[in-house]
Structure 1
Amino acid sequence: MTAPKKVVLAYSGGLDTSIILKWLQTEYGCEVVTFTADLGQGEELEPARAKAELLGIKPENIFIEDVREEFVRDFVFPMFRANAIYEGQYLLGTSIARPLISKRLVEIAEMTGADAVAHGATGKGNDQVRFELAAYALNPEIKVIAPWREWDLSSRTRLLEFAEQHQIPVAKDKRGEAPFSVDANMLHTSSEGKVLEDPAEIAPEYVHQRTVNPEDAPDTPEFIEVGFEKGDAVSINGEAMSPATVLETLNEYGRKHGIGRLDFVENRFVGMKSRGVYETPGGTILLEAHRGIEQITLDSGSGHLKDSLMPRYAELIYNGFWYSPEREMLQAAIDKSQEHVTGTVTLKLYKGSVFTVARASDHSLYSEAHVTFEDDAGAYDQKDAAGFIQLNALRLKLLAARNRRFK
């Protein structure tokens, strides 16, 4: 690859990306632009600016942006319209943040005249795939630099030696091996590695950062009402809220009640299995609420087709294909299904669990007249069921008759 002249780096301000910043400068002699996204990870981001300036980055080449509303509105909410879950359990909290970060990397590269982007994902994980597939989908000419696949800094000791050699500040707690690595955004936290690498060992309680232990959660259940319009949550307890505020508020309810913990061994796209501890408090509540409102507003044909599409949709997001035509095609079908998914859902939160206990909608397909055990006043003629059953049984009867002949 031809040496880049200017690189936009996805920069957290932490040790690894600070080392990458300096490595880009020394290895390629190129100008570096930093991009730090506020995705609701709960950390102060201004120190990243100071760190970048300390490492010689010009103020005009430091981009720190609050993208929380865009993240929830344009990425999290479309995904939740699909009720997307990977391998039956994982709510895709890390996966869904990568296309937004990549989008801004490519846009900033265009704004600043950079010819390359760089990320800090390792060569063993999924994020390298997600960052790079998204970048190439948005700009096929962009160069992508993945230092973890190029350099010889193969151990924590070598990283620290490089940091000290180049006067990169190292926090004291980073001088020893970190107990685990953490990725966080408004939707979730993901903890992997070190003390979590053996799936036969129970994860220590200190791994959990976003939720109280369900055993320590309040002994009294709490009830909340989530309002929806066209598949997206728009209010909590009758108060209208922006997408990010909805998720932020649900996160607090989930934290308080210990909701959304997951200890999971997943199949990475690159082929290996990985054990992670995830916390998705608000997302777990949102998924239950969305399914609750769909129960009365989606017809069976639409709902069952949508459920059959969901695993493929979730896999596309997990594998990094957010900007693929097939994901967009599925999204169009999913969004069409949400035209009448409007109403309110009442939820019970209690010691790590969330349950739908009531739902209401002006768009409801639920007909009490048809399902009542009392007199339905002619709304449904039960004799019609006999012909329905006979027609559906015809194929089965013919099969049974043939099978009996050949026994």
Structure 2
Amino acid sequence: MSQEIKKVVLAYSGGLDTSAIIPWLIDTYQCEVICCCANVGQEEELEGLEERAKASGASKLYIKDLTDELCKDFIWPMIKSGAVYERKYYLGTSIARPIVAKWMVEIAEKEGADAICHGCTGKGNDQVRFENTIAALNPELKVIAPWRIWNFTSREDLIQYLDSKKIAYPDSAKNPKLFSRDRNIWHISHEGGPIENIEIEPDEKFWVLSVSPEEAPDKPEFVEIEFEAGEAVALNGKKMSPKDLLVELNKIGGRNGIGRCDMVENRLVGMKSHGLYETPGGTILCFAHSELETITLDRDTMHYKDVVAERYAELVYFGQWYSPLCEALNKFFDVTNKTTTGTVKLKLYKGNIISAGRKSKYSLYNEKIASFGDVTLYDHKDATGFIRCFSLPSRVRSSMEKAAGLK
């Protein structure tokens, strides 16, 4: 394989791992290394990365802001689905991986690269998400995953290797955090170190985007979100882009203690892991969207959509965004959201989201039919025949069991 690799595109962050990967690729494959750093709203300092990448041996560095595209083409469609992985996880890290991998494939094709390299470990989900996307978009590209093949086993090994090469690395590498974080515009996750202990309440120091419910204001805050065909378009009466709306909702949700999640999940690779997730704006958006659907979706569509959303959540979590099934389900959700237009008012109070009203020109809620006092559209007597027909299978089975001596 080493003889076939002449040019590699590397997912680059500027941290210890990717700083070591650049010279390791050059040593191992005698290849050119091109770095890519995607801005997905992680709010990290990107200045100086080009100089650092080139000092490590890379020939060039691409940097691109993908946050607008991430919100519009990935997060907003996901909100339409109502997908939540294992009842809790709003798929924060999962939804950002396909767009990064897609961009890297585009760079690889533009540069005529032979392979794409990532710094994911062999235990996590991200290796699958990256490689599944690459396989779906360009199966001719090879994938290099150093943590699965090199001989380094610790941060100390990487530091020693870089020192031997006289290559600089971040000062923070010598004093690493006891836990790891992954952030984008949709969420932030916290894993590893003391967080791996599932028997105790997480320390308040881990949380970044939100205050604790106890420290949230004693006065509720109201927000109103407007949707058009399932997509949030305005906040408190102000039209906003998906990115700007999400940024603002993150601030609002964070200061009200919204969107914290302490979860033991089932990773795709088979193990269980413990993570802390913060999705303040996303939690509010998903709640509001669901509230609007209660009046715009008929019963059968709503119930079936819930079943499909669970499978869709698995597809996103497993990195199968570019699969035929995911593509088809996105079209299904477009159809079910055609009438999900209207506004939802919510009351936020100390970690809670409380409905405070919803309206839509496509509302299926009819107060006259629901009222006990009006019999012009629905007469109570109409229920008698309906119930006899609906209960017929139960009565037939009961008669059979009695005749057969089964009861």
Same fold judged by TM-score > 0.5? Answer: yes
- The corresponding residue for 1:298 is 297
For normalisation by structure 2, the TM-score amounts to 0.96
Which letter maps to 2:71? V
Q: What secondary structure does 2:340 align onto?
A: coil
User: SS of the counterpart of 1:62?
Assistant: strand
**Does the CA contact (< 8 Å) of 2:2 and 2:28 recur in 1?**
no
The secondary structure found in structure 2 opposite 1:46 is coil
Counterpart of 2:203 in structure 1 is: 204
Give the secondary structure class of the aligned counterpart of 1:228: strand
Q: Secondary structure at the match of 2:254?
A: helix
Partner of 2:318: 319
Give the Cα separation in 2 of the matches to 1:57 and 1:173.
21
Point out the more displaced range, 21-30 or 112-121.
Answer: 21-30
1:177 shift after superposition: 4.4
Kept after mapping to 1: 8 A contact 2:22/2:58: no
| Structure 2 runs not aligned, ≥5 long | none
Q: Give, in whole Å, the separation in 1 of the partners of 2:126 and 2:389.
A: 52
The residue number in structure 2 matching 1:131 is 130
The answer to whether the 8 A contact 1:288-1:355 is kept is no
For 1:200-349, list aligned pairs within 5 A. 200-349=199-348
Aligned counterpart in structure 2 of residue 398 of structure 1, from 396, 399, 404: 396
Paired letter, 1:94:
T
TM-score (norm 1): 0.96
User: Unmatched 5+ residue regions in structure 1?
Assistant: none
Match of 2:78 in 1: 79
**Residue 313 of structure 1: CA displacement?**
0.6
**Residue 380 of structure 1: CA displacement?**
1.6
Q: Between 155-164 and 239-248, report the one with greater CA deviation.
A: 155-164
Contact kept in structure 1, 2:90 and 2:282, CA below 8 Å: yes
Q: Which amino acid aligns with 2:393?
A: R
In structure 2, what is the Cα distance between the partners aligned to 1:136 and 1:46?
32
Tell me the equivalent position of 1:114: 113
Q: Identical aligned pairs, as a percentage?
A: 50
| 1:283-339 deviation digits (Å, cap 9, x = unpaired) | 110110110111111111111110011111101111111111111121111111011
1:69 equivalent to 2:68? Answer yes
- Distance in 2 (CA, whole Å) between partners of 1:224 and 1:247 is 13
What SS does the corresponding residue of 1:94 show, helix, strand or coil? helix
Q: Give deviations 1:209-248, integer Å, cap 9, x for gaps.
A: 1111221111100000000011111110111111111111
Contact 1:10 / 1:118 at 8 angstroms: preserved in 2?
yes
- Matched residue, 1:32: 33
Residue pair 2:22, 2:57 contacting (<8 A) in 1 also: no
Q: Post-superposition shift, 1:374? A: 3.0
- 1:362 maps to 361
User: Which letter maps to 1:383?
Assistant: K
SS in 2 for 1:359: strand
Distance 2:228 2:256 in 1: 26
Aligned residue number for residue 168 of structure 1: 167
Q: Which runs of 4+ in 1 moved over 3 A?
A: 170-173
Select between 85-94 and 42-51 the one with higher mean Cα deviation.
Answer: 42-51
1:21 equivalent to 2:22? Answer: yes
What is the CA–CA distance in structure 2 between the aligned matches of 1:191 and 1:169, rounded to whole Å? 27
- 1:373 Cα deviation (Å)? 2.8
Could you say if the C-alpha distance between residues 70 and 220 of structure 1 is closer, same or farther in structure 2, counting changes exceeding 3 Å? same
CA distance in 2 between partners of 1:340 and 1:271 (Å): 39
Is 1:5 equivalent to 2:3 in the alignment? no
Q: Distance in 2 between matches of 1:372 and 1:174?
A: 66
Residue type of the alignment partner of 1:381? D
Counterpart of 1:104 in structure 2 is 103
Q: Deviations over 1:249-282 (max 9, x none)?
A: 1111111111111111111111111111111111
Answer whether contact 1:117 1:145 (CA < 8 A) is retained.
yes
Query: Hey, what's the Cα distance between the residues in 2 that align with 1:304 and 1:256?
Result: 34
On the 8 A contact 1:13/1:47 being kept in 2, the answer is: no
The whole-number CA distance in structure 2 between the counterparts of 1:183 and 1:349 is 26
Aligned residue number for residue 186 of structure 1: 185
C-alpha separation in 1, matches of 2:156 and 2:56? 21
Determine the C-alpha separation between the residues in 2 that align with 1:262 and 1:48: 32
Deviations along 1:326-376, one digit per CA (max 9) or x if unpaired, are 111211111110111000000111111212221011111111111123335
Structure 2 counterpart SS, 1:34: strand
Q: Match of 2:401, SS?
A: helix
Name the SS of the counterpart of 1:79 in structure 2.
helix
- Contact preservation (8 Å) 1:347, 1:355: yes
SS at match of 2:151: coil
Distance 1:152 1:10, change over 3 A: same
Structure 1 range deviating more: 75-84 or 167-176: 167-176
Residue 44 of structure 1: how far off its partner (Å): 1.9
C-alpha root-mean-square deviation of aligned residues, in Å? 1.3
How big is each residue's C-alpha offset from its partner over 1:172-228, in whole Å with a ceiling of 9 and x where there is no partner?
432134210111100111111111122123322111111112211111000000000
- Worse-superposed segment, 164-173 or 320-329: 164-173
Greater alpha carbon shift after TM alignment, 101-110 vs 328-337: 328-337
Give the SS at the match of 1:36.
strand
Contact 2:259 2:283 in 1 (8 A): yes
Does the C-alpha gap of structure 1 residues 314 and 161 become closer, same or farther in structure 2, counting only changes over 3 Å?
A: same
Which moved further from structure 2: 171-180 or 327-336?
171-180
Query: How far, CA to CA, are the matches of 1:365 and 1:83 in structure 2?
Result: 20
Q: Deviation of residue 162 (structure 1)?
A: 1.4
Q: How many residues align?
A: 404
Contact 2:209 2:278 in 1 (8 A): yes
**Partner SS state of residue 314, structure 1:** helix
Match of 1:233, SS state, is strand
Distance 1:390 1:236, change over 3 A: same
